[in-house]
């Protein structure tokens, strides 16, 4: 199953076996598949930064080599047309590096895991909000793309309970956390967004269009 969308804010061309083309344009930012050319920025401003990593994952900074391996995994997915992968966030006009967001695979078929990291100079200026708005719009456009063999119906994200900005950001898009769990040695809030209804609406609109 392929996806072909071309709008001023979103361009997606994705089919199994062919490199995916994705570009999202928001007010100030542009989101597009991460590439190996982003490696230095990813390491310097995000995964190698103790400030950014403090409440992310295990709280440990990553080496350049570890970041390179992550980027390889994400680019390999884009290359084979998998729309669930890492996106680089840059300033739309200047190309300045802003951050990273991933709507990726999880342990559960049909559920995508969401995570976002913004470069500290840009914190608390609504860049995270702007990026997630684009990613949620994107998610609604790829509802028909199977995720690990199951229909794509859920987005999950976690935030350490002491990560105020992340909890506020996720609550704005997913509502209140549905549970708490210990993961990577810290208590985390679990957020879930159910896309089943959006899938049904999209299906009925598609049916109306084809029937008309």
Query: Nearest-CB residue to ligand COA?
Result: 128
Min dist CB 75 to ligand COA, Å, is 21
Residue 145: Cβ within 10 Å count: 20
Of 114 and 142, which CB lies nearer to ligand COA in the complex structure? Answer: 114
Nearer Cβ to ligand COA (14/111): 111
User: What whole-number distance in Å separates Cα of residue 204 and Cα of residue 146?
Assistant: 18
Q: How far is the CB of 191 from ligand COA (least distance, A)?
A: 9
Between 14 and 74, CB nearer to ligand COA: 74
CB of 48 to ligand COA, least distance (A): 13
Binding residues for ligand COA, rule: CB under 6 A, are 52, 55-56, 115-118, 123-129, 157, 159, 163-166, 168-169, 172
Nearer to ligand COA, 50 or 149 (CB): 50
Distance CA 168, CA 172 (A): 6
What would the DSSP string read from start to end of 112-159? EEEEEEE-GGGTTTTHHHHHHHHHHHHHHHSTTS-BTTB---EEEEEE
Structure tokens, 23 = 């570009």
The CA distances from residue 167 to 50, 73, 105, 113, 162, in Å, are: 19, 27, 21, 15, 8
To the nearest whole angstrom, how small is the minimum distance from the Cβ of residue 193 to ligand COA?
14
- Based on CB atoms, which residue is closest to ligand COA, 164 or 203? 164
Q: What one-character DSSP code corresponds to residue 49?
A: -
Q: CB 107 → ligand COA: shortest distance, Å?
A: 17
The smaller minimum CB distance to ligand COA, of residues 3 and 101, is found at 101
Q: Which two tokens stand for residue 2?
A: 């392929």
Q: Give SS3 for 170.
A: helix
How near is the Cβ of 52 to ligand COA at its closest, in Å?
A: 5
- What does the CA dihedral 206, 129, 176, 82 come to, rounded to 10 degrees? 50
């Amino acid at each position: 199953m392929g996806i072909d969308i071309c709008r001023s804010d979103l361009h997606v061309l994705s089919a199994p076996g062919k490199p995916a083309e994705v570009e999202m344009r928001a007010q100030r930012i542009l989101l597009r598949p991460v590439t190996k050319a982003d490696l230095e920025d990813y390491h310097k401003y995000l995964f190698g930064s103790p400030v950014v990593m403090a409440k992310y994952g295990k709280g440990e900074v990553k080496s350049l080599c570890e970041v390179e391996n992550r980027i390889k995994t994400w680019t390999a997915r884009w290359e084979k047309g998998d729309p669930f992968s890492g996106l680089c966030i840059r300033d739309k006009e200047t190309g300045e590096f802003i951050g990273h967001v991933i709507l990726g695979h999880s342990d559960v078929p049909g559920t995508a895991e969401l995570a976002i990291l913004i470069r500290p100079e840009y914190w608390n200026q609504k860049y995270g909000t702007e990026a997630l708005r684009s990613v949620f719009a994107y998610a609604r456009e790829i509802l028909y793309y199977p995720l690990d063999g199951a229909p794509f119906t859920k987005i999950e994200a976690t935030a350490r309970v002491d990560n105020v900005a992340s909890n506020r950001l996720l609550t704005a898009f997913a509502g209140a956390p549905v549970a708490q769990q210990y993961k990577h040695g810290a208590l985390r809030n679990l957020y879930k967004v159910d896309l089943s209804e959006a899938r049904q609406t999209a299906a009925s609109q598609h049916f109306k269009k084809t029937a008309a």
